[in-house]
Every structure is written in structure tokens, then in C-alpha cells.
Amino acid sequence: MFKRNLGKWLITWPPTLYLLIFFAIPALIMVVASFRFPGDYGGLLPLYHIDEATGRAVIEVTRENWRDYFTLENYARLTEDSVYLQLFIKSFYYAGLTTLICLIMAYPLAWLIARSNQKVRDLLVLLVILPFWSNFLVRVYAWMIILGPNSAFTKITNMLLGLLGIAPQSFMFSPFAVVVCLVYVHLPFMVLPLYANLEKHDMSLLDAAQDLGANAWQRFWKVTWPLSLPGVYAGAALVFIPALGIFAVPDLLGGTDGIMIGNLIKQQFLESRDWPFGSVLSIVLTLFALGLAGLAALIGRASSR
């Protein structure tokens, strides 16, 4: 039994070990941190000190005083100010909007790539991943310029708006700028899984549907769309989850209106030096995202019945 699975074990333990060390353990450390107090100069309040004479670690936590080291206070803080909840909701909203726009834009593109002939297809896939060849921050800065007050885009748009009698707009430092850039950054992550899925579709199913009386619209909704759902789910997860926690884009483009939960978490760890509260925010964000994914799976299963 063991012998037969030896090969399997040998191949799977390195990634397992890797995930254990660099994901599971840090996550556990963070969970513990969320119940502790911040240290005097950032970090966490130590649980032990080094005895100078012996050089040995002396644990300070005892049965009597553990309340001075562990607390639920950090979680309670979340409820004290509704601004946190609002920020969560807003982040979910931006990430959700980004996912939806990506889906709407990526679907026709992925479909087109999947239907082109082999040579064109390879070229188009290459073009989709081409932006990855430049640095992420460079791409975000490029949007600062594009959406800035002196760019051609801004000037032309405002001129057109002027013709319609609408006052000139400023695009930078706004939720609009954040979502535009989030869509731009995440679009390939939606296109690629959708393409991988659509490319495998059996075209004879569409012929069969048409033969049996389905018009173009019905062929899409009854055949192509349901069969592409695994690709849609994969793409949505690859866009929604990173978009939810992102801080660089709102940092640079969001201004005060456009900040997201990622900015707050980053702020807790860096500027405010409040690791415990930062941990709480991270954990709650993860739980929210997991809950949402679970809900989506439940709805998906129920609707496919």
C-alpha cells in the first residue's frame, strides 16, 4: 500500500511542505497575533524575555496574568466604528464591480481567441499576457498619467462632455480611477481561464442545438454559457480575490475616496504599527471571502439542480 503510493508521496511532499511552511504556519501566527497586544515600538508585546545572566528565555505568561497578554479587544474594535464595515463593503463592491466588468470584457475576447485558427490564436494569447512583461507599478503609474488632468484622454473626454453641456471632470484620485486600473490589471486573469475553457468546447454541440431549433441567443445561453461556467468561476476567483486585498492601486490612484480594505491593513502594519488589529482585519477579510465563495458554490449547486 505504502510502496505503491511512494511515487505519489515523493512528488507531492515538496509542495505540501512549502505550503505548510509559507502559508499554513504564517496564517496560524497571524491568528495568534490577532489575540495579542501591540508592542511598545510596533510588533507584538513579547510573551517572554531573555534572562541576561543565564541567556535563557523566560516565559512571562502565567495562569494568573494571561489576560495581560491575550485579548478579544482587537476584534471588539471592529464593531466600535462603522467605518470598518463600510470599508469592507466598499472593497467588496469595487472588487465585485471589477470582476463583473472583467467578465463582460473578457468573454467575447476569449471566445474570439478560442475560435480563431491556431496561428492567430497563439498571437492573441501572447498579446493578452504581454502587459505582464512590464512592471506592475509602471503600469499603475501609466494610468496616473492617462487619467491625470493634462493627459490627452482627459482633455478629449472633457471636450466631448463639454459638447454635451457637462462640466469638466477630474478622473484621478477617485473610485473610478481605482476600478479602471483594477480592470486593466486583472483582465488577463479572466481572459486566460475563459479561453482555456471555451477552446475545449465541442462545436458539434452548437450544430446540434441549432439543428434542434435553437436560435443564436438560445445556443449561447443553453449551451455555451453553462458549459463555460467552470472557466467563469476560475476567472472570477482569480480576479476577485487579488482585487479585494489590493493596496497599491488605491494607494496611487484612489485618493481619500478610493481607499480599500487593503490600504487599511497595510496602514496597520506599517504606519500605525498595530499588528494585532492588522491581523484581525486580514482574518476577517479572508473569512468574508471564504464565506462568499461558499455561498456562490451553494447557489451554483442549487441552480444546477
Partner 1 sequence: MALLEIKNIVKQFGDFTAVDNVSLSIETGEFFTLLGPSGCGKTTLLRMLAGFEQPDSGEILLDGKNVANVPPEKRPVHTVFQSYALFPHMTVADNIAFPLKMAKKDPADIQKQVSKLLEDVRLAQFGNRFPHELSGGQRQRVAIARALANRPRLLLLDEPLSALDAKLREQMQIELINLQKEVGITFIYVTHDQGEALALSHRIAVMNKGTVEQLDIPEKIYGFPKNRFVADFIGQCNLLDGTIVEVGSDRMKVEIAGVGIAETLPAEGAKVGAKGTLALRPEKIKISSSLPADVADEVHFRGTVHDCLYLGDVTIYIVELENGLLLEAMLPNSASGQAKFFNDNDAVEIAWRFDAGHFLTE
Burial zone of 40 (CB within 10 Å; 0-12 exposed, 13-18 middle, 19+ buried): exposed
Q: Using CB under 8 A, which residues numbered 155 to 214 contact partner 1?
A: 202, 204-205, 207-214
Q: Report in angstroms how near the CB of residue 296 gets to partner 1 at its nearest.
A: 18
Which residues does residue 44 pair with via DSSP β-bridges, in sequence order?
A: 38
d(CA 127, CA 30): 39
Show the site string, 21-60: x = touches partner 1 by CB under 8 A, - = not. ----------------------------------------
- Is 227 a binding residue for partner 1 by CB under 8 A? The answer is yes
The whole-angstrom separation of Cα 244 and Cα 234 is 16
Q: Which is nearer to partner 1, 219 or 266 (CB)?
A: 219
Helices and strands, number each (H, E), in the chain: 14, 2
Judged by beta carbon, residue 73 or residue 202, the one nearer partner 1 is 202
In whole angstroms, how close is the CB of 255 to partner 1 at the nearest point?
A: 45
* Site size toward partner 1, by CB under 8 A: 17
Could you give the C-alpha distances from 271 to 41, 226, 275, in angstroms and in order?
11, 47, 10
Angstrom distance (rounded) from CA 67 to CA 36? 10
Dist. CA 114–CA 297, nearest whole Å: 27
Exposure b/e, 168-183, CB count within 10 A at least 16 = b: eeebbbbbbbbbbbbb
Span interacting with partner 1, options 38-46, 70-78, 223-231, 260-268, rule CB under 8 A: 223-231
Letters for 87-116 (x = contact with partner 1 by CB under 8 A, - = none) are ------------------------------
Smallest distance from partner 1 to CB 295, Å = 22
**Residue 218 in the binding site for partner 1 (CB under 8 A):** yes
Q: Minimal distance in Å, beta carbon 203 to partner 1?
A: 9
The residue among 31, 33, 51, 58 whose CA lies nearest residue 43 is 33
- Gyration radius (Cα) of the chain, Å: 25
CA atoms within 13 A on the CB side of 231: 25
Residue number with CB closer to partner 1 (150 or 204): 204
Residue 262's closest CA among 24, 145, 141, 94? 94
Q: Grid coordinates standing for 62?
A: 502565567
C-beta of 109: minimal distance to partner 1 in Å? 23
Q: Is 303 in the site for partner 1 (CB under 8 A)?
A: no
Identified binder of partner 1 from the candidate list 149, 168, 226, 300, rule CB under 8 A:
226
Supply the minimum distance, in Å, between the C-beta of residue 213 and partner 1. Answer: 4
Between 81 and 207, name the residue whose CB sits nearer to partner 1.
Answer: 207
The region of 11-19, 78-86, 140-148, 222-230 touching partner 1 under the rule CB under 8 A is 222-230
Q: Is residue 168 helix, strand or coil?
A: coil
Q: Does 299 bind partner 1 (CB under 8 A)?
A: no
Residue pair 244/91 in contact by the 8 Å Cβ criterion: yes
Our CB check for partner 1 shows the closer of 29 and 297 to be 297
CB of 120 to partner 1, least distance (A): 20
State the residues that interact with partner 1 by CB under 8 A. Answer: 202, 204-205, 207-215, 218, 222-223, 226-227
